[in-house]
Structures are given as structure tokens and as C-alpha cells.
Structure 1
Amino acid sequence: MNPYIDIILRSAAVYVFMVIALRVFGKKELSQLNTADVILILLISNSVQNAMVGSNSSLEGGLVAALVLFVINFILKKIMYKFKNVKDFIQDKPVILIHNGKLEFKTLAKLEISSDELNEVIREHGIENTQDVKLAMMEVDGNISVISGDVNIKQTHHKRKIHKTLGNLNK
């Protein structure tokens, strides 16, 4: 087999595996990494490198593998845009955490969001109490958006990145 076709197939297989693994293990948000997460990412990248390029350690082989990953990612985003069921499998849906000052305790427990973490997010948006929150949602990207019910409170556009260990929305 052509060595570049081999690299393309191996890279595609690794990409698909990583998408599924990240989805299954709930690692949808890697914006705030702790030490264990950094180690995991470094070890995964090292372990899949040979799986993608095999014995080919040339510059061309590495560039082909990188190009394949970019192309697959581009295609996957296009597919997710056109097919809702694929998007639903790969990406979580936004969920309501607070509605009209009332906390959604089941959702917060499911996502393993502590009251301290939620209060911190609310304060970061310039709101003191959960009773003053009209709507707080965990967005698909892991951010928590907060909308105040008090017209006198100045809204901020700051969104806090939630640590990825706060859970997979489909658990």
C-alpha cells in the first residue's frame, strides 16, 4: 500500500477514535486543564503519533497526518451543521441551571456543579443572589451564560469556562 494512503487511513481512524472517546468519557471541554489532564493529553498525543504515521518519521508524513486531521475536522463540522442527529451525538445540548431564581437541583447534581462554583459564576456576571437570576444555562461549549432578572444590574458579557470534569450532559 502507498505509505501516504496508509497515513491517511491511520490518521482518520485515530481522529474518529478520539472523537468517540472524548464523547464517551465526557471530555468535551478542555479549556481549563489540571495537571492530570495535561499529562493525559501529552501521553495520548505520544501514543497516537505512531498509530498515525507508522514507521514514517519524515516531514512529509507528519504534514500529511496533520492535513488529514484538519480536513476530517472541517468535514465533520460541515456534517454536524447539516445533520442534527450527528451533531446531537457529538455535541451536548444547552441545559437550564437556574430559571426565574429557582435552581434546577437535579441538573446541577447531574453535572456535578457545586453551589460554590455556581455562585462564583453568578458573581462573575455581577449578580449577588441566585434569586436575581432570570436564566442561567450551561451552553454546549461548557460556558455558563447568566441573564439577570433585575433591570438595575448591569449585565456582563463574561462567560466562565467550566472545567471539563463537571460532566457530560448525557450522563
Structure 2
Amino acid sequence: MQIPTLEKVLRTVLVYGGLALLLRVGGKRDLAQLNSFDLVVMLLLSNVVQNSIIGNDNSLTGGLLGAAVLVAVNGVMVRVVNRHPRLTRIFEGAETVLVRDGAVDHKVLHRMGLRQADVAAALRRQGAGDLHEVKKATIAPGGAIVVTLTEEAQDVTRRDLHNDREALLNDIRAEIQAAVAGLEARLADRLPKPPAAAPATGQAP
């Protein structure tokens, strides 16, 4: 290798940390909700920082070492951050509400650099045909838009069908029982009543 091993490791770690910081500052949109401009930036980033990692070293060993350090550092960072919610908020931020009860927060969209058309497309992909069907839509720390639909707009599940069937059967049973009770009462009214017993005279036969 044309660069000492320790220097190459330090270069890789520093570039990894620098890119993570830039993406954190750039916002959640750059992580997942990419438009054409964001895609150009992401494609150029790897080329821009390439020399910062490998320097003048074009050897196979140097490239593999840099790749191994990147994978190792990323694996350690992901596991450490996932174990501590406070670190997750620091490095990735918290979720941000975009839509609440069918109303879009335009100030949040402007602050995060999101277009309403991109948000509407994400809502449709998750089953919302209209904004009025959205109870809550948030953008997660990873950049994904998560949608919670209203109860009326949610798909029917097998449990819902089972509960509806049980409720319908209970209603039918109640109606049958009420009908049988009504028939018994009508039959009781139409049947001849037994003659009343003669009153006792109190005299011996």
C-alpha cells in the first residue's frame, strides 16, 4: 500500500463521520425522498470523497482495507445507536408530522424541503386515496414517510370480518328469539283456557 494502514483507517473513519454529519444537517429528505437534484448529489458524493479515503493509493489491498473499515465502522455505529434512544435522536433526529387529520403542515414541508406532490405520491402508495383519509403522516428519522389512515379508510382485516359476522349472528339470534316469544304469546291467547274449578261449599257429601 502507498499509504500507511493507520492513516487509511483514520481517513475512512473521518470521511464516514463527515458524510453522516452532512446528511444529518441536510435533512431527512436526502435520505429517502430523493428528487432528481438529490439523486445527482448522492451520485457525486462517492466520487468527491473517494480520494479523501484512498489518497494516492490505487492498490487492491488499500481499496479492500478502506471498504472493510467502512463496513466495520457502520456496523458498530448502527448497533451502538440502536441501543440508545438518545443517540438515535442525536444522529438521526425524531419523526416529524407532515399531515394531521387531513391537513398538510406547509411550514414543515417548506422547512424540510419537501414538495407536496412527493408527499401526496407517498400517501397514495400507502393506501390513502385522499388527504381526508389520512389521520397522521410523519417522516421518520430514516427519511421514510409513514401514514396512519382513519378507521373508515383502513382495509378490512379477517378479524374485522369475524367480528362483523359474530355481531350479525347475534342480531339474528336475538330476532329469532323475539319472534318465537311473540308466536308463543299469540298461541297462548288463542288456545282455550281451562274451566275454572267450582268453589267448595264446605258441606260433607
TM exceeding 0.5: yes
Q: Which amino acid counterpart does residue 40 of structure 1 have in structure 2? A: V
* TM-fit CA distance, 1:39: 4.3
* TM-fit CA distance, 1:154: 2.5
Q: Select the structure of larger CA radius of gyration.
A: 2
Larger helix share, 1 or 2: 2
Indicate the percent of aligned positions where both proteins have the same amino acid: 25
Taking structure 2 as the reference length, what is the TM-score of the superposition? 0.62
Cross-structure match for 2:50: 49
Cross-structure match for 1:165: none
Q: CA RMSD for the aligned pairs?
A: 2.7
Cross-structure match for 1:89: 90
For residue 32 of structure 1, the aligned residue among 31, 34, 38 is 34
Distance in 2, matches of 1:106 and 1:51, equals 37
Cross-structure match for 2:193: none
Which consecutive residues of structure 1, in runs of 5 or more, have no partner in the other structure? 156-171
Do structure 1's residue 60 and structure 2's residue 61 form an aligned pair? yes
Distance in 2, matches of 1:41 and 1:119, equals 23
* TM-fit CA distance, 1:28: 4.0
Kept in 1: contact 2:33–2:144 (CA 8 A):
no
Distance in 1, matches of 2:48 and 2:113, equals 30
Which segment drifts farther, 66-75 or 131-140? 131-140
Distance in 1, matches of 2:81 and 2:51, equals 29
Cross-structure match for 1:11: 12
Tell which has more relative contact order, 1 or 2 (C-alpha 8 A, sep 6+): 1
Structure 1 residues 4, 129: CA separation in 2 closer, same or farther (over 3 Å shift)? same
Structure 1 residues 3, 33: CA separation in 2 closer, same or farther (over 3 Å shift)? farther
Taking structure 1 as the reference length, what is the TM-score of the superposition? 0.72
